Structure 1
Amino acid sequence: MSGEHNDKVAAVTGAGRGIGAGIAARLAEDGFHVALIDIDETTVGNAADEIGRDRATPYVVDLAKRQDVIDTFSEVARAHGRIDAVVNNAMWVHYSPIIEMDERSLDTMWTIGLKAAFWTIQGAYPAMIAQGGGVVVNMSSPAATRGIDGSSGYSAVKGAVSSLTWQAARELGPQGIRVNGIIPGAVDTPGARRVVDDEGYEIRRKMSTLGRLATAEDIAAGVSFLVSPDAAYVNGHILNVDGAL
Protein backbone atom coordinates (compact mmCIF):
# COMPACT_ATOMS: atom_id res chain seq x y z
CA MET A 1 0.00 0.00 0.00
CA SER A 2 3.04 2.24 -0.07
CA GLY A 3 2.41 5.71 -1.45
CA GLU A 4 -1.40 5.58 -1.29
CA HIS A 5 -1.80 8.24 1.37
CA ASN A 6 0.25 11.20 0.12
CA ASP A 7 -0.32 14.39 2.12
CA LYS A 8 -2.32 12.60 4.80
CA VAL A 9 -1.43 12.81 8.49
CA ALA A 10 -1.44 10.13 11.19
CA ALA A 11 -0.85 10.47 14.92
CA VAL A 12 0.51 7.50 16.89
CA THR A 13 0.72 7.41 20.68
CA GLY A 14 3.47 5.50 22.46
CA ALA A 15 5.49 5.94 19.27
CA GLY A 16 8.94 6.21 20.83
CA ARG A 17 9.75 2.51 20.67
CA GLY A 18 8.38 -0.99 20.23
CA ILE A 19 5.06 -1.51 18.48
CA GLY A 20 4.32 2.21 18.35
CA ALA A 21 7.58 2.99 16.57
CA GLY A 22 6.91 0.13 14.15
CA ILE A 23 3.43 1.46 13.39
CA ALA A 24 4.78 4.97 12.85
CA ALA A 25 7.46 3.71 10.48
CA ARG A 26 4.94 1.71 8.45
CA LEU A 27 2.51 4.60 8.14
CA ALA A 28 5.34 6.87 7.01
CA GLU A 29 6.23 4.23 4.41
CA ASP A 30 2.57 4.28 3.34
CA GLY A 31 2.84 7.99 2.66
CA PHE A 32 1.53 9.57 5.85
CA HIS A 33 3.28 12.36 7.68
CA VAL A 34 3.35 10.88 11.18
CA ALA A 35 3.02 12.76 14.47
CA LEU A 36 4.93 10.62 16.98
CA ILE A 37 3.47 11.15 20.46
CA ASP A 38 5.32 9.91 23.53
CA ILE A 39 6.28 11.07 27.01
CA ASP A 40 9.97 10.18 26.49
CA GLU A 41 11.73 12.95 24.61
CA THR A 42 14.80 10.88 23.74
CA THR A 43 13.07 7.81 22.34
CA VAL A 44 10.44 9.74 20.38
CA GLY A 45 13.13 12.00 18.92
CA ASN A 46 15.20 9.00 17.90
CA ALA A 47 12.17 7.34 16.31
CA ALA A 48 11.44 10.47 14.30
CA ASP A 49 15.09 10.63 13.19
CA GLU A 50 14.92 7.00 12.05
CA ILE A 51 11.90 7.74 9.89
CA GLY A 52 13.20 11.13 8.77
CA ARG A 53 12.04 14.52 9.93
CA ASP A 54 10.49 15.18 6.52
CA ARG A 55 7.99 12.36 7.23
CA ALA A 56 7.77 12.43 11.03
CA THR A 57 7.43 15.01 13.79
CA PRO A 58 7.98 14.13 17.48
CA TYR A 59 5.68 15.50 20.17
CA VAL A 60 6.53 15.07 23.86
CA VAL A 61 3.19 14.71 25.64
CA ASP A 62 1.94 13.35 28.94
CA LEU A 63 -1.20 11.49 27.86
CA ALA A 64 -2.56 11.72 31.39
CA LYS A 65 -3.16 15.44 30.88
CA ARG A 66 -6.28 15.95 28.80
CA GLN A 67 -5.67 19.57 27.83
CA ASP A 68 -2.08 18.85 26.81
CA VAL A 69 -3.31 16.07 24.51
CA ILE A 70 -6.00 18.25 22.96
CA ASP A 71 -3.55 21.13 22.53
CA THR A 72 -1.07 18.80 20.81
CA PHE A 73 -3.68 17.60 18.33
CA SER A 74 -4.63 21.19 17.61
CA GLU A 75 -0.95 21.89 16.95
CA VAL A 76 -0.70 18.91 14.59
CA ALA A 77 -3.78 20.10 12.68
CA ARG A 78 -2.42 23.64 12.41
CA ALA A 79 0.97 22.44 11.22
CA HIS A 80 -0.27 19.95 8.64
CA GLY A 81 -3.80 21.06 7.81
CA ARG A 82 -5.49 17.78 8.73
CA ILE A 83 -5.49 14.62 10.85
CA ASP A 84 -6.53 11.51 8.95
CA ALA A 85 -5.68 8.72 11.39
CA VAL A 86 -5.14 8.26 15.11
CA VAL A 87 -3.55 5.11 16.54
CA ASN A 88 -4.02 4.69 20.29
CA ASN A 89 -1.10 2.43 21.11
CA ALA A 90 0.30 3.83 24.37
CA MET A 91 -0.04 1.68 27.49
CA TRP A 92 1.54 1.33 30.90
CA VAL A 93 1.41 -2.20 32.34
CA HIS A 94 1.55 -3.57 35.87
CA TYR A 95 0.82 -7.25 36.59
CA SER A 96 -0.61 -8.04 40.01
CA PRO A 97 -3.23 -10.32 41.56
CA ILE A 98 -6.55 -8.58 42.15
CA ILE A 99 -6.20 -8.65 45.92
CA GLU A 100 -2.77 -7.00 45.72
CA MET A 101 -3.50 -4.34 43.09
CA ASP A 102 -2.54 -0.87 44.36
CA GLU A 103 -4.42 2.30 43.52
CA ARG A 104 -1.56 4.13 41.83
CA SER A 105 -0.82 1.30 39.40
CA LEU A 106 -4.48 0.80 38.52
CA ASP A 107 -5.03 4.53 38.03
CA THR A 108 -1.98 4.78 35.74
CA MET A 109 -3.14 1.89 33.58
CA TRP A 110 -6.65 3.32 33.27
CA THR A 111 -5.33 6.78 32.49
CA ILE A 112 -2.76 5.85 29.83
CA GLY A 113 -4.59 2.86 28.41
CA LEU A 114 -8.17 4.13 28.32
CA LYS A 115 -8.70 7.77 29.27
CA ALA A 116 -6.01 8.92 26.84
CA ALA A 117 -7.96 7.29 24.00
CA PHE A 118 -10.89 9.57 24.86
CA TRP A 119 -8.58 12.60 24.83
CA THR A 120 -6.99 11.75 21.46
CA ILE A 121 -10.39 11.20 19.84
CA GLN A 122 -11.58 14.51 21.26
CA GLY A 123 -8.39 16.18 20.05
CA ALA A 124 -8.60 14.84 16.49
CA TYR A 125 -12.35 15.27 16.13
CA PRO A 126 -12.47 18.92 14.94
CA ALA A 127 -9.94 18.29 12.15
CA MET A 128 -11.62 15.05 11.08
CA ILE A 129 -15.04 16.70 10.93
CA ALA A 130 -13.65 19.65 8.97
CA GLN A 131 -12.06 17.37 6.36
CA GLY A 132 -15.04 15.00 6.12
CA GLY A 133 -13.82 11.99 8.07
CA GLY A 134 -10.94 10.00 9.48
CA VAL A 135 -9.91 6.75 11.14
CA VAL A 136 -9.14 5.73 14.72
CA VAL A 137 -7.39 2.46 15.59
CA ASN A 138 -7.30 1.36 19.23
CA MET A 139 -4.90 -1.27 20.51
CA SER A 140 -6.73 -3.93 22.53
CA SER A 141 -5.26 -7.23 23.72
CA PRO A 142 -5.93 -10.98 23.98
CA ALA A 143 -6.27 -10.19 27.70
CA ALA A 144 -9.54 -8.42 26.87
CA THR A 145 -11.24 -11.74 26.11
CA ARG A 146 -9.54 -14.35 28.30
CA GLY A 147 -8.12 -14.66 31.80
CA ILE A 148 -4.36 -14.28 32.17
CA ASP A 149 -2.52 -14.77 35.47
CA GLY A 150 -1.78 -11.49 37.22
CA SER A 151 -3.46 -9.46 34.49
CA SER A 152 -6.56 -8.16 36.27
CA GLY A 153 -5.92 -4.44 35.78
CA TYR A 154 -4.51 -4.77 32.28
CA SER A 155 -7.35 -7.06 31.20
CA ALA A 156 -9.95 -4.67 32.56
CA VAL A 157 -8.40 -1.74 30.69
CA LYS A 158 -8.14 -3.60 27.39
CA GLY A 159 -11.69 -4.92 27.72
CA ALA A 160 -12.79 -1.32 28.13
CA VAL A 161 -10.74 -0.31 25.08
CA SER A 162 -12.62 -2.88 22.99
CA SER A 163 -15.95 -1.60 24.31
CA LEU A 164 -14.92 1.99 23.60
CA THR A 165 -14.04 0.97 20.04
CA TRP A 166 -17.52 -0.43 19.37
CA GLN A 167 -19.24 2.53 21.02
CA ALA A 168 -17.13 5.13 19.22
CA ALA A 169 -17.77 3.38 15.89
CA ARG A 170 -21.49 3.69 16.58
CA GLU A 171 -21.29 7.36 17.54
CA LEU A 172 -18.74 8.61 15.02
CA GLY A 173 -19.42 6.40 11.99
CA PRO A 174 -22.33 8.58 10.80
CA GLN A 175 -19.88 11.51 10.77
CA GLY A 176 -17.41 9.71 8.54
CA ILE A 177 -15.03 8.63 11.30
CA ARG A 178 -14.31 4.90 11.33
CA VAL A 179 -13.15 3.36 14.62
CA ASN A 180 -11.58 -0.09 14.76
CA GLY A 181 -9.21 -2.01 16.99
CA ILE A 182 -6.44 -4.57 16.89
CA ILE A 183 -5.74 -7.50 19.19
CA PRO A 184 -1.99 -8.03 18.76
CA GLY A 185 -0.01 -11.15 19.46
CA ALA A 186 2.91 -11.02 21.87
CA VAL A 187 5.76 -8.83 20.65
CA ASP A 188 9.14 -8.80 22.39
CA THR A 189 9.55 -5.08 23.09
CA PRO A 190 11.55 -3.09 25.68
CA GLY A 191 8.34 -2.02 27.42
CA ALA A 192 6.91 -5.53 27.59
CA ARG A 193 10.23 -6.83 28.95
CA ARG A 194 9.39 -4.97 32.17
CA VAL A 195 6.69 -7.55 32.91
CA VAL A 196 7.46 -10.59 30.69
CA ASP A 197 10.67 -12.64 30.94
CA ASP A 198 12.18 -15.25 28.60
CA GLU A 199 10.01 -18.00 30.05
CA GLY A 200 6.89 -15.89 29.55
CA TYR A 201 7.78 -15.23 25.92
CA GLU A 202 8.41 -18.93 25.32
CA ILE A 203 4.94 -19.71 26.66
CA ARG A 204 3.47 -17.08 24.34
CA ARG A 205 5.42 -18.45 21.37
CA LYS A 206 4.04 -21.93 21.96
CA MET A 207 0.50 -20.55 22.15
CA SER A 208 0.71 -19.25 18.59
CA THR A 209 -0.37 -21.65 15.85
CA LEU A 210 2.38 -20.14 13.71
CA GLY A 211 5.11 -21.11 16.15
CA ARG A 212 6.61 -17.67 16.59
CA LEU A 213 6.07 -14.38 18.36
CA ALA A 214 4.56 -11.44 16.51
CA THR A 215 6.75 -8.60 15.31
CA ALA A 216 6.06 -4.89 15.41
CA GLU A 217 5.89 -5.07 11.62
CA ASP A 218 3.09 -7.67 11.82
CA ILE A 219 0.99 -5.38 13.98
CA ALA A 220 1.82 -2.35 11.86
CA ALA A 221 0.59 -4.17 8.76
CA GLY A 222 -2.80 -4.62 10.42
CA VAL A 223 -2.95 -0.92 11.25
CA SER A 224 -1.92 -0.08 7.69
CA PHE A 225 -4.91 -2.02 6.38
CA LEU A 226 -7.41 -0.49 8.79
CA VAL A 227 -6.42 3.09 7.94
CA SER A 228 -6.29 2.40 4.19
CA PRO A 229 -9.04 2.87 1.57
CA ASP A 230 -9.21 -0.94 1.37
CA ALA A 231 -10.95 -0.83 4.77
CA ALA A 232 -13.38 1.92 3.82
CA TYR A 233 -16.38 -0.19 4.89
CA VAL A 234 -14.76 -1.64 8.02
CA ASN A 235 -16.09 0.00 11.18
CA GLY A 236 -16.42 -1.26 14.74
CA HIS A 237 -14.19 -4.26 14.06
CA ILE A 238 -11.50 -5.73 16.30
CA LEU A 239 -8.87 -7.32 14.06
CA ASN A 240 -6.91 -10.24 15.53
CA VAL A 241 -3.22 -10.15 14.55
CA ASP A 242 -2.24 -12.80 17.08
CA GLY A 243 -1.22 -15.99 15.30
CA ALA A 244 -4.61 -17.60 16.15
CA LEU A 245 -4.17 -17.78 19.91
Structure 2
Amino acid sequence: MPPISTEAPAAKVAIVTGAGRGIGRAIAERLARDGYRVVAVDLLASNLDETVAAIAADAGSVEALALDVTDRAAVHAAFEQISARLERIDVVVNNAMWIRYQPLVDVEEATIDAMVAVGLKAVIWTMQAAYPTMIAQGGGVIVNVSSPAAVRGVAGSAIYSAVKGAVSSLTWQASNEFGRQGIRVNAVVPGAVPTEGARALVDDEGYELRARLTPLGRLGTPEDIANAVAFLVSDQASYINGHLLAVEGGLLAS
Protein backbone atom coordinates (compact mmCIF):
# COMPACT_ATOMS: atom_id res chain seq x y z
CA MET A 1 0.00 0.00 0.00
CA PRO A 2 1.47 3.40 -0.98
CA PRO A 3 2.14 5.95 1.78
CA ILE A 4 -0.64 8.39 2.54
CA SER A 5 0.23 11.95 1.55
CA THR A 6 -0.95 14.80 3.75
CA GLU A 7 -0.41 17.36 0.98
CA ALA A 8 -3.40 18.36 -1.09
CA PRO A 9 -2.90 17.70 -4.79
CA ALA A 10 -2.46 20.79 -6.91
CA ALA A 11 -2.19 20.49 -10.67
CA LYS A 12 -1.48 24.18 -11.20
CA VAL A 13 0.97 26.59 -9.57
CA ALA A 14 0.15 30.15 -8.48
CA ILE A 15 2.76 32.65 -7.25
CA VAL A 16 1.39 35.48 -5.10
CA THR A 17 3.63 38.36 -4.03
CA GLY A 18 3.01 40.30 -0.83
CA ALA A 19 1.18 37.26 0.52
CA GLY A 20 2.06 37.77 4.17
CA ARG A 21 -1.05 39.71 5.11
CA GLY A 22 -4.10 41.60 3.91
CA ILE A 23 -5.15 41.27 0.29
CA GLY A 24 -2.16 39.13 -0.68
CA ARG A 25 -2.90 36.63 2.06
CA ALA A 26 -6.59 36.46 1.09
CA ILE A 27 -5.62 35.84 -2.54
CA ALA A 28 -3.20 33.08 -1.58
CA GLU A 29 -5.82 31.42 0.61
CA ARG A 30 -8.51 31.63 -2.07
CA LEU A 31 -6.31 30.19 -4.82
CA ALA A 32 -5.26 27.37 -2.52
CA ARG A 33 -8.93 26.56 -1.90
CA ASP A 34 -9.41 26.52 -5.67
CA GLY A 35 -6.80 23.78 -5.95
CA TYR A 36 -3.63 25.67 -6.82
CA ARG A 37 -0.29 24.91 -5.26
CA VAL A 38 0.44 28.38 -3.94
CA VAL A 39 3.91 29.84 -3.66
CA ALA A 40 3.40 32.62 -1.13
CA VAL A 41 6.04 35.32 -1.54
CA ASP A 42 7.11 38.02 0.90
CA LEU A 43 10.34 39.78 1.78
CA LEU A 44 10.77 37.74 4.96
CA ALA A 45 9.73 34.11 5.43
CA SER A 46 8.48 34.93 8.94
CA ASN A 47 5.90 37.26 7.40
CA LEU A 48 4.29 34.22 5.78
CA ASP A 49 3.82 32.07 8.88
CA GLU A 50 0.13 32.90 9.32
CA THR A 51 -0.61 32.54 5.60
CA VAL A 52 1.02 29.13 5.41
CA ALA A 53 -0.64 27.96 8.62
CA ALA A 54 -4.09 29.06 7.47
CA ILE A 55 -3.77 27.33 4.10
CA ALA A 56 -2.33 24.17 5.62
CA ALA A 57 -5.15 24.07 8.19
CA ASP A 58 -7.60 24.15 5.30
CA ALA A 59 -5.76 21.23 3.64
CA GLY A 60 -4.38 23.48 0.95
CA SER A 61 -1.06 23.18 -0.83
CA VAL A 62 1.37 25.99 -0.06
CA GLU A 63 4.99 26.89 0.38
CA ALA A 64 6.64 30.07 1.60
CA LEU A 65 9.25 31.91 -0.43
CA ALA A 66 11.33 34.72 1.04
CA LEU A 67 12.18 36.94 -1.92
CA ASP A 68 13.12 40.54 -2.55
CA VAL A 69 10.92 41.21 -5.57
CA THR A 70 12.89 44.37 -6.38
CA ASP A 71 15.96 42.25 -7.18
CA ARG A 72 15.66 41.24 -10.85
CA ALA A 73 18.32 38.53 -10.70
CA ALA A 74 16.82 37.03 -7.55
CA VAL A 75 13.33 36.99 -9.03
CA HIS A 76 14.48 35.28 -12.22
CA ALA A 77 16.47 32.71 -10.27
CA ALA A 78 13.56 31.97 -7.94
CA PHE A 79 11.11 31.51 -10.80
CA GLU A 80 13.53 29.24 -12.62
CA GLN A 81 13.81 27.09 -9.50
CA ILE A 82 10.03 26.97 -9.07
CA SER A 83 9.59 25.98 -12.70
CA ALA A 84 12.23 23.26 -12.47
CA ARG A 85 10.86 21.82 -9.24
CA LEU A 86 7.09 22.18 -9.73
CA GLU A 87 7.26 21.90 -13.53
CA ARG A 88 4.95 24.82 -14.25
CA ILE A 89 3.87 28.36 -13.38
CA ASP A 90 0.23 28.97 -14.22
CA VAL A 91 -0.61 32.15 -12.34
CA VAL A 92 1.33 35.15 -11.08
CA VAL A 93 -0.41 37.74 -8.89
CA ASN A 94 1.58 40.95 -8.42
CA ASN A 95 0.23 42.28 -5.17
CA ALA A 96 3.36 43.51 -3.34
CA MET A 97 3.54 47.27 -2.73
CA TRP A 98 5.38 49.72 -0.50
CA ILE A 99 3.53 52.95 0.26
CA ARG A 100 4.35 56.27 1.83
CA TYR A 101 1.89 59.15 1.55
CA GLN A 102 3.52 62.58 1.31
CA PRO A 103 2.63 65.93 -0.23
CA LEU A 104 4.20 66.12 -3.67
CA VAL A 105 6.38 69.08 -2.68
CA ASP A 106 7.92 67.04 0.15
CA VAL A 107 8.56 63.77 -1.68
CA GLU A 108 12.16 62.58 -1.42
CA GLU A 109 14.10 60.53 -3.93
CA ALA A 110 14.32 57.53 -1.60
CA THR A 111 10.52 57.41 -1.36
CA ILE A 112 10.14 57.45 -5.13
CA ASP A 113 12.83 54.81 -5.59
CA ALA A 114 11.27 52.43 -3.06
CA MET A 115 7.73 52.76 -4.38
CA VAL A 116 8.79 52.35 -8.00
CA ALA A 117 11.03 49.40 -7.15
CA VAL A 118 8.32 47.41 -5.35
CA GLY A 119 5.25 48.70 -7.17
CA LEU A 120 6.45 48.78 -10.77
CA LYS A 121 9.86 47.23 -11.36
CA ALA A 122 8.94 44.09 -9.45
CA VAL A 123 5.87 43.63 -11.65
CA ILE A 124 8.10 43.72 -14.71
CA TRP A 125 10.61 41.30 -13.19
CA THR A 126 7.97 38.69 -12.31
CA MET A 127 6.34 38.92 -15.72
CA GLN A 128 9.71 38.48 -17.39
CA ALA A 129 10.58 35.57 -15.12
CA ALA A 130 7.28 33.74 -15.63
CA TYR A 131 7.23 34.23 -19.39
CA PRO A 132 9.52 31.35 -20.51
CA THR A 133 7.69 28.76 -18.42
CA MET A 134 4.26 29.99 -19.48
CA ILE A 135 5.32 29.91 -23.12
CA ALA A 136 6.66 26.37 -22.78
CA GLN A 137 3.46 25.10 -21.18
CA GLY A 138 1.16 26.86 -23.64
CA GLY A 139 -0.11 29.79 -21.60
CA GLY A 140 -0.76 31.30 -18.21
CA VAL A 141 -2.39 34.19 -16.39
CA ILE A 142 -0.93 37.30 -14.77
CA VAL A 143 -2.98 39.55 -12.51
CA ASN A 144 -1.60 42.89 -11.39
CA VAL A 145 -3.02 45.15 -8.70
CA SER A 146 -3.75 48.77 -9.63
CA SER A 147 -5.81 51.37 -7.75
CA PRO A 148 -8.57 53.94 -8.26
CA ALA A 149 -5.85 56.44 -7.31
CA ALA A 150 -4.42 55.90 -10.79
CA VAL A 151 -7.26 57.99 -12.21
CA ARG A 152 -8.47 60.02 -9.22
CA GLY A 153 -6.72 62.80 -7.37
CA VAL A 154 -5.94 61.78 -3.80
CA ALA A 155 -4.12 64.18 -1.46
CA GLY A 156 -0.66 62.99 -0.55
CA SER A 157 -0.60 60.06 -2.96
CA ALA A 158 1.04 61.54 -6.05
CA ILE A 159 3.78 58.90 -6.26
CA TYR A 160 1.49 56.02 -5.35
CA SER A 161 -0.97 57.22 -8.00
CA ALA A 162 1.80 57.51 -10.58
CA VAL A 163 3.03 53.98 -9.84
CA LYS A 164 -0.45 52.50 -10.05
CA GLY A 165 -1.10 54.43 -13.26
CA ALA A 166 2.04 52.84 -14.64
CA VAL A 167 0.82 49.40 -13.53
CA SER A 168 -2.45 49.94 -15.38
CA SER A 169 -0.62 51.02 -18.53
CA LEU A 170 1.81 48.13 -18.23
CA THR A 171 -1.09 45.71 -17.89
CA TRP A 172 -2.61 46.90 -21.16
CA GLN A 173 0.72 46.79 -22.94
CA ALA A 174 1.64 43.35 -21.65
CA SER A 175 -1.80 41.99 -22.54
CA ASN A 176 -1.06 42.87 -26.15
CA GLU A 177 2.43 41.38 -26.23
CA PHE A 178 1.76 38.34 -24.06
CA GLY A 179 -1.78 37.67 -25.25
CA ARG A 180 -0.44 36.65 -28.62
CA GLN A 181 1.50 33.93 -26.81
CA GLY A 182 -1.52 32.61 -24.90
CA ILE A 183 -0.75 34.51 -21.69
CA ARG A 184 -3.60 36.64 -20.36
CA VAL A 185 -2.70 39.79 -18.42
CA ASN A 186 -5.32 41.65 -16.40
CA ALA A 187 -5.51 43.73 -13.25
CA VAL A 188 -7.80 44.26 -10.31
CA VAL A 189 -8.53 47.76 -9.02
CA PRO A 190 -9.37 47.49 -5.32
CA GLY A 191 -11.30 50.19 -3.52
CA ALA A 192 -10.85 51.04 0.15
CA VAL A 193 -9.89 47.85 1.99
CA PRO A 194 -8.84 48.42 5.62
CA THR A 195 -6.08 45.83 5.91
CA GLU A 196 -3.43 45.89 8.63
CA GLY A 197 -0.97 47.70 6.41
CA ALA A 198 -3.53 50.17 5.11
CA ARG A 199 -4.70 51.06 8.62
CA ALA A 200 -1.18 52.17 9.41
CA LEU A 201 -1.66 54.86 6.75
CA VAL A 202 -5.37 55.72 7.02
CA ASP A 203 -7.19 56.31 10.32
CA ASP A 204 -10.79 55.45 11.24
CA GLU A 205 -12.04 58.87 10.15
CA GLY A 206 -10.42 58.39 6.76
CA TYR A 207 -12.11 55.04 6.29
CA GLU A 208 -15.46 56.42 7.40
CA LEU A 209 -15.12 59.05 4.69
CA ARG A 210 -14.20 56.41 2.11
CA ALA A 211 -17.24 54.35 3.02
CA ARG A 212 -19.51 57.39 2.62
CA LEU A 213 -18.03 58.16 -0.79
CA THR A 214 -18.58 54.61 -2.02
CA PRO A 215 -22.01 54.13 -3.64
CA LEU A 216 -22.44 50.71 -1.98
CA GLY A 217 -21.87 52.42 1.36
CA ARG A 218 -19.30 50.03 2.73
CA LEU A 219 -15.61 49.28 2.68
CA GLY A 220 -14.17 46.36 0.79
CA THR A 221 -12.70 43.21 2.29
CA PRO A 222 -9.60 41.28 1.25
CA GLU A 223 -11.94 38.46 0.25
CA ASP A 224 -13.75 40.77 -2.20
CA ILE A 225 -10.48 41.28 -4.04
CA ALA A 226 -9.47 37.63 -3.78
CA ASN A 227 -12.77 36.59 -5.36
CA ALA A 228 -12.12 38.90 -8.31
CA VAL A 229 -8.63 37.50 -8.79
CA ALA A 230 -9.99 33.95 -8.61
CA PHE A 231 -12.39 34.81 -11.42
CA LEU A 232 -9.74 36.42 -13.62
CA VAL A 233 -7.44 33.39 -13.40
CA SER A 234 -10.26 30.90 -13.99
CA ASP A 235 -11.39 29.36 -17.27
CA GLN A 236 -14.58 31.45 -16.98
CA ALA A 237 -12.41 34.46 -17.84
CA SER A 238 -10.59 32.74 -20.71
CA TYR A 239 -11.50 35.51 -23.18
CA ILE A 240 -10.71 38.38 -20.82
CA ASN A 241 -7.36 40.02 -21.52
CA GLY A 242 -6.12 43.54 -20.91
CA HIS A 243 -8.98 44.31 -18.53
CA LEU A 244 -8.87 46.34 -15.32
CA LEU A 245 -11.55 44.87 -13.08
CA ALA A 246 -12.72 47.52 -10.62
CA VAL A 247 -13.68 46.05 -7.24
CA GLU A 248 -14.48 49.27 -5.44
CA GLY A 249 -18.21 49.45 -4.74
CA GLY A 250 -18.83 51.94 -7.55
CA LEU A 251 -16.36 54.58 -6.34
CA LEU A 252 -15.05 55.28 -9.84
CA ALA A 253 -18.59 55.93 -11.05
CA SER A 254 -19.39 58.41 -8.31
Category of TM-score, reference length = shorter chain: over 0.9
Determine which of 40, 47, 54 is the counterpart of 1:36.
40
Separation of aligned partners in 1, 2:182 and 2:197: 34
Q: d(CA) in 2 for partners of 1:181 and 1:199?
A: 29
What amino acid does structure 1 have at the position aligned with 2:31? L
Aligned to 1:21: 25
Matched residues in 2 for 1:26 and 1:92: separation?
23
1:209-228 matches, within 5 Å, as 209-228=215-234
> 98, 107, 113: which is aligned to 1:92?
98
Q: Distance in 1 between matches of 2:81 and 2:72?
A: 14
User: What is the distance in 1 between the residues matched to 2:73 and 2:14?
Assistant: 20
Out of 232, 237, 242, the residue aligned to residue 231 of structure 1 is: 237
State which drifts further: 15-24 or 68-77. 68-77
Counterparts of 2:79 and 2:213, CA distance in 1: 39
> Structure 2: how far apart are the matches of 1:84 and 1:180?
14
Q: Which structure has the bigger radius of gyration?
A: 2
- After superposition, what is the alpha-carbon deviation per residue over 1:191-224, rounded to whole angstroms, capped at 9, x for unaligned? 1122111111111111111111100000000000
**Distance across 1 between alignment mates of 2:63 and 2:49:** 8
1:147 matched residue in structure 2:
153
Shift of 1:128: 0.3
Secondary structure at 1:175's aligned position in 2? coil
How far apart, CA to CA, are the structure 2 residues paired with 1:117 and 1:125? 12
Amino acid corresponding to residue 32 of structure 2 in structure 1? A
Are 1:7 and 2:8 counterparts? Answer: no
Instruction: Choose which of 96, 101, 108 in structure 2 pairs with 1:102.
Output: 108
Normalised by the size of structure 1, how large is the TM-score? 0.96
Show structure 1 runs of 4+ deviating over 2 A: none
- For the residues of structure 1 that align with 2:46 and 2:204, how far apart are their CA atoms? 27
Corresponding residue SS for 1:63: coil
Alpha-carbon distance in 1 for matches of 2:81, 2:192:
33
Q: Alpha carbon RMSD of aligned pairs, Å?
A: 1.2
Give CA deviations for 1:16-71 in whole Å, capped at 9, x if unaligned. 00000000000001110001010022121321121018511100011111111111
- Structure 1 residue 186 corresponds to structure 2 residue 192: yes
Matches within 5 A, 1:71-220: 71-220=77-226
